[in-house]
Amino acid sequence: MRHDMKPEEGALAECQIERLLADDQGFFKRLVEGMRCGLITVDHRGRVLMINELAREILELKEPLPAEVPVHVALSTHPRLARVLLDALQMSHLPNRAELELRTRERDGKTIGFTISPIRSEAGQIGGVALFFKDLTLVERQEEQERLRDRLVALGQMGANLAHEIRNPLASIEVTVGLLRRRFKGCHEELRLIDKIAPEVSRLNRTVTRSLEFARPLAPERATHDPRLLLEEALEEAENRFGAHEVLVERQYAEETPPIAADGQLLRQVLVNLMFNALEAMEGRGRLLLSARAISRLDRGEPGVELSVADSGPGIPSELRDKLFQPFVTTKKSGSGIGLAMARKIIECHDGMIDVMDGEDGGTVFRVRIPCLPDASEVD
């Protein structure tokens, strides 16, 4: 009887339990099927007595099993687990809160946490074992992501310190180059050599500055924005930076494109890089298509906006595809390879996604999806 029950309540509960127990088979069946952990029981000959619904689900066992199948047959897709159960029949100390990696059709595999209890006969002898288990995969993934986040923070701090150390000597190299240029006024050969230093120094400076930006944690300041306006502003900036070109710019903006709650400056930075990449890929000649439309659902079931930047350039080199969004991946002589890595970081901190596809008639399409946030109008 529970301590917080009045005596008559306790009597009632006991009476209900007795009634449930009277329906022996049904009660235990419902108890086992309703358990929030997987359960497999095996008799002393190593034959499976029962497997509950959750166990079948975790182990991805499709077919219902005939009674008393040998455990290595029932769990033929999980030989390690079958081995653990068979070994348990011989053990004096059974595993408690242990973990096991299962081999599944999934690429990553599954981890289960399990405890094995003995099933004793009336005479007190071991008549079999019961395995209670839970799928820990999700917990493990979360822990792994936390560890990765910690590692990235540490790496980011190290990068920031390193960048700081590099920038100071770079600044003095720049000053010294200026002095040398003045000293060697009129000496063409010397000046030609000196002039080779400056662009390299500024390239290094740019890489360091952009790496610093990339390492720094983002704190987006959200406000309501019309995504079409962001595209237009980004286009202006990209065109100004690129200079003269012969690219035909087309727009496909859906009229009902809803506003988004985003950090305008950060989002513009993403779009400028996508457009600048496109202009560079087309070498200033081709067709750039900008589009914006509402999408009814993002993965998380929220309404959102999809923006895309499509070019008629040569497409993404196949060897680059898998690592395109990693930092320092570049094919350009003066590129730092931070643009797309930064773009992904910015989009992810807006709970959105960015991906790349081949264009229908060649070229490349970058697609950005951002949730609108239901209360977008209230954010300011």
Ligand X SMILES: Nc1ncnc2c1ncn2[C@@H]1O[C@H](COP(=O)(O)OP(=O)(O)OP(=O)(O)O)[C@@H](O)[C@H]1O
Which amino acid belongs to residue 364?
T
Would you say 95 or 335 has its CB closer to ligand X? 335
Binding mask 317-346 for ligand X (x = CB under 6 A): ---x---x----xxxx--xxxxxxx-----
CB under 5 to 8 A by kind: which of ligand X, Mg ion, none does 194 bind? Answer: none
Residue 290 contacts ligand X per CB under 6 A: no
Residue 339 contacts Mg ion per CB under 5 A: yes
Choose the stretch contacting Mg ion; rule: CB under 5 A; options: 52-60, 144-152, 232-240, 271-279.
271-279
215 phi, psi to nearest 5 deg: -75, -25
Nearest CA to 346 out of 269, 234, 235, 231 is that of: 269
Residue 277 contacts Mg ion per CB under 5 A: yes
Min separation Cβ 266 and Mg ion, Å: 15
Residues whose CB is less than 8 angstroms from the CB of residue 141 and which lie 6 or more positions away in sequence, other chains included: none
**Number of chain residues interacting with Mg ion (CB under 5 A):** 3
* CA-to-CA dists, residue 89 to 45, 100, 101, angstroms: 9, 18, 20
**Number of chain residues interacting with ligand X (CB under 6 A):** 22
Q: Say which residue the tokens 């930064």 belong to.
A: 342
191-228 core/surface letters (b: 16 or more CB in 10 A; e: else): eeebeeeeeebeeebebbebbbebbeeeeeebebbbbb
Residue 316 contacts ligand X per CB under 6 A: yes
Among 42, 278, 288, 292, the residue binding ligand X under the rule CB under 6 A is 278
Would you say 56 or 206 has its CB closer to Mg ion? 206
Within a 10 A sphere around the Cβ of 190, how many other Cβ atoms? 14
CB under 5 to 8 A by kind: which of ligand X, Mg ion, none does 224 bind? Answer: none
List helix spans (H) across the chain.
Answer: 7-22, 24-33, 53-58, 71-74, 79-88, 137-183, 188-215, 227-242, 264-281, 339-348
- Give the whole-angstrom CA distance, residue 285 versus residue 114: 62
- Give the whole-angstrom CA distance, residue 97 versus residue 113: 6
| Residue 118 burial class via C-beta count within 10 angstroms: exposed 0-12, middle 13-18, buried 19 and up | middle
Would you say 59 or 270 has its CB closer to ligand X? 270
Cα-Cα end-to-end distance for the chain: 57
Residue 269 contacts ligand X per CB under 6 A: no
Would you say 159 or 313 has its CB closer to ligand X? 313
310-348 core/surface letters (b: 16 or more CB in 10 A; e: else): bbbbebbeeeeeeebbebebeeeeebbbbbbbbbbbbbe
Min separation Cβ 218 and ligand X, Å: 17
Residue 265 contacts ligand X per CB under 6 A: no
Min separation Cβ 346 and Mg ion, Å: 13
CB under 5 to 8 A by kind: which of ligand X, Mg ion, none does 37 bind? Answer: none
Choose the stretch contacting ligand X; rule: CB under 6 A; options: 211-219, 291-299, 313-321, 368-376.
313-321
Binding mask 186-225 for ligand X (x = CB under 6 A): ------------------------x---------------
- Footprint of ligand X (CB under 6 A): 210, 273, 277-278, 281, 311, 313, 316, 320, 324, 329-332, 335-341, 364
Residues contributing to the site for Mg ion (CB under 5 A): 273, 277, 339
